Structure 1
Amino acid sequence: MKFLDPGNPFYRPLWRRVVIVAVCLGWAAVEFSRGANAWGALFLAAGLFAAWSLLIAWRPDDKG
């Protein structure tokens, strides 16, 4: 089982992929603004990983 499976049909619409990345990066900004650097770094890493998996390296015919 993968942490984030881009081959899952749930991720096919672009808007869902963009929202997932935006929520992760937005929450990282909230955590950094409140001084919680460890949580901010965690959500920043999750957002960057999601951006790579779901936006940059994503292919419509991914099967996992």
Structure 2
Amino acid sequence: MQLIDPNHPAYRRLWVRIAIVAVCFGWAAVEIVGGDPFWAVISAAAGAYAFYMLFWTFKSQPEVAEPVVRPDAEEEDEPAEISAEKPSKDGPAG
């Protein structure tokens, strides 16, 4: 059973993964200072599991770029995409 799915898009950003792990270990520190070792161990275990899933086994997924559509493009079967190609030496094509 997997509690954290590292392939979920919410975990794509590094700062989100760092924040989750930091909050778990921070709460464990709060429980230690407060004198409740049981909840400190539970929070630290959650932080260790989150670290393992979000950093150790995490494989970054490449972000999918959506095509840019010109607003003045005539309706066709497929939307016209703006090309980032460099013009040739002979001049612009078209």
Aligned to 1:14: 14
In structure 1, stretches of 5+ residues that fail to align are none
Amino acid corresponding to residue 2 of structure 2 in structure 1:
K
TM-score w.r.t. structure 1 length? Answer: 0.88
After superposition, where does 1:16-55 map in structure 2 within 5 Å?
Answer: 16-55=16-55
TM-score w.r.t. structure 2 length? Answer: 0.61
Tell which structure's C-alpha radius of gyration is larger: 2
Task: Using CA pairs under 8 Å that are at least 6 residues apart, name the structure with larger relative contact order, 1 or 2.
Answer: 1
C-alpha distance in structure 1 between counterparts of 2:15 and 2:56, whole Å? 14
Structure 1 vs Structure 2 CA RMSD: 1.2
In structure 2, stretches of 5+ residues that fail to align are 62-94
